[in-house]
A and B are shown apart, each in its own frame.
Chain A
């Protein structure tokens, strides 16, 4: 049997890379975890030290209970916004990408121009708020979902369009011969084949939307509309900051995206290696 051993050089580089990666990714996380376990007084010192007194559970309950269970409401809102926006992004991105790729028409140029504008032009906050107010969508969760869809749609369309270009047109035609209507072709033949790119989009966009701080800050004011990132304001003020609770809050807010990433990461890799689309 041949042993695929590493040369000393390869091993050293590997160890160095692992160390660098752990400094960049693990150390901040460990720091957050230690801070979240400290007392208020100890956390205020801002030192990277082992907590002298473990207060993990009491900090946790305090953060959750704070301001009438605001964190739970924030989780609820954030999940609704993320799931709603990502679902619409996948559906519309795939549909528009499919039509753009498969049915060339005079309108395509105009649509492409719109997509590019969506990618390049930075969104203006105040006019957007006027529009939302005019539509009666300001300070509503559905308004926030539409904002996130609008921000992410251009990218999603381009991603799907280029992926659909790799799916042979013969498949559409075979489905037509088999008696499929256009919507059935899309739902039963094309959409299942978009799985790898759909998973990628879900991971990227859901982490982005869940972690979004500024957009909910502008477009979704109101105590009942709070999202997870905005709960971080609870423990930080001009005169008094409770860093142990703040870091506990950060810890709780970081966990869902981490789960999504860890869970779907395998799917992305599996999807890419099995992405044999050829008929």
Chain B
């Protein structure tokens, strides 16, 4: 069953087309990540699904019902904002229960539902604090709690981890994935960070300047990128992409090879270059090779193959892992 469907959705701000015709099906219970560079329209798309922006044309169908003209609160969605958007004057309890109290639910029911959500998110001891007395991760959890308590069909998350430090972000990635498994709800998650997309998504939607570039599971996008844009966006470090003479020699317009699919050698190989820069990441080493007539080539190697700055090396692609885009 399809839970969220977008049909030829467009959005223009004046003369600028921000969303240029998006068709998308998201299945019930899926963790779907919109990923793309800033300005690609991913946040706008999420806000259109939420109902905070109206689409210029097209349909939004949630759970079989066309909600294009419906109020945000009638769409069966809940949203977590990048800035968390907690009400500063309300306690954690009232923040989570705000929507329920607006819906005029009985006090006892609000209390039990807020406490149930707080128990899942381990917010129990913090219920009577104000948001300013919470840490970033705790605020994040309150924002998620506020979404959870409304029991939505679809969770919309707008870059929820971008305000957290790296360690906390990694931890929250796991917590969010666990939460998704536990609730079984559909989640639409917007991020510009391809690592978040790769690690959390069931389905990744890569957006580029208002269009869907490719939709697929993380490994599909990694192994079979449809366009050079997707190839360059998914994977870390970035895929080496070459146009012009190098690509022509390979019989295509864009030639791509991932750093991890290059073998380095001191005796011989396809390309010869000098190590311009070497990054030691511990288990991995990233070598920036300067190849004559081709440009810069990134290669990943392990600590078994130590590389010194300025060394001359040979690099060869692993057969079958090269990409040739017409």
Q: Which residues of A contact B (CB under 8 A)?
A: 168, 170-171, 173-180, 184, 188-189, 192-193, 195, 276-279
Contact = CB atoms under 8 A, between A and B. Distances in A.
B87 interface: yes
A184 B102 CA distance: 8
Given A174-B79, A178-B99, A279-B84, 11 more contacts: A174-B87, A177-B78, A177-B79, A178-B98, A179-B72, A179-B102, A188-B98, A189-B87, A277-B88, A279-B81, A279-B85
B50 A177 contact: yes
Contact of B131 (A176, A195, A279): A279
Contact of A193 (B82, B89, B132): B89
Nearest to B100: A178
A174 B102 contact: no
B11 interface: no
A139 B271 CA distance: 96
A179 B152 CA distance: 13
B81 A173 contact: yes
B212 interface: no
B86 interface: yes
B8 to A, nearest CB: 25
B146 interface: yes
Nearest to A189: B87
Contacts of B52: 173, 176-177
Contacts of A193: 88-89
Interface in B77-133: 77-79, 81-89, 98-99, 102-103, 131-132
B146 A278 contact: no
B150 interface: yes
A188 B87 CA distance: 10
A180 B102 contact: yes
30 contacts: A170-B81, A173-B52, A173-B79, A175-B87, A175-B98, A176-B52, A176-B72, A177-B52, A177-B72, A177-B73, A177-B78, A177-B79, A178-B98, A178-B150, A179-B99, A179-B102, A179-B103, A180-B102, A188-B98, A188-B102, A189-B87, A192-B89, A193-B88, A193-B89, A277-B88, A279-B83, A279-B85, A279-B88, A279-B131, A279-B139
Contacts of B150: 178
A279 B99 contact: no
A178 B74 CA distance: 10
Nearest to B156: A177
Contacts of B82: 170
A157 B99 CA distance: 29
A278 B88 contact: yes
Contacts of A189: 87
Contacts of A276: 88, 132
A174 B88 contact: no
A276 B131 CA distance: 10
Nearest to B73: A179
Interface in B42-84: 50-52, 71-73, 77-79, 81-84
B140 to A, nearest CB: 11
A29 to B, nearest CB: 38
B69 to A, nearest CB: 15
A182 B142 CA distance: 24
Nearest to B132: A276
A170 B99 contact: no
Contacts of A278: 88
A49 B145 CA distance: 70
A174 B85 contact: yes
Q: Which of A170, A278, A279 has the most CB of B within 10 A?
A: A279
A170 B146 CA distance: 14
Given A177-B77, A178-B150, A171 B87 contact: yes
Nearest to B81: A170
A195 B89 CA distance: 10
A97 B224 CA distance: 54
Contacts of A188: 98, 102
A248 B157 CA distance: 66
B86 A178 contact: no
A245 B132 CA distance: 54
A219 to B, nearest CB: 38
Contacts of B78: 177
A181 to B, nearest CB: 8
Contacts of B73: 176-180
Contacts of A177: 50, 52, 72-73, 77-79, 99
Contacts of B102: 178-180, 184, 188
Contacts of A180: 73, 102
Nearest to B98: A178
A192 B78 CA distance: 24
Nearest to A178: B99
A24 B139 CA distance: 50
Given A277-B88, A279-B88, A174 B132 contact: no
A168 B83 contact: yes
A279 B88 CA distance: 6
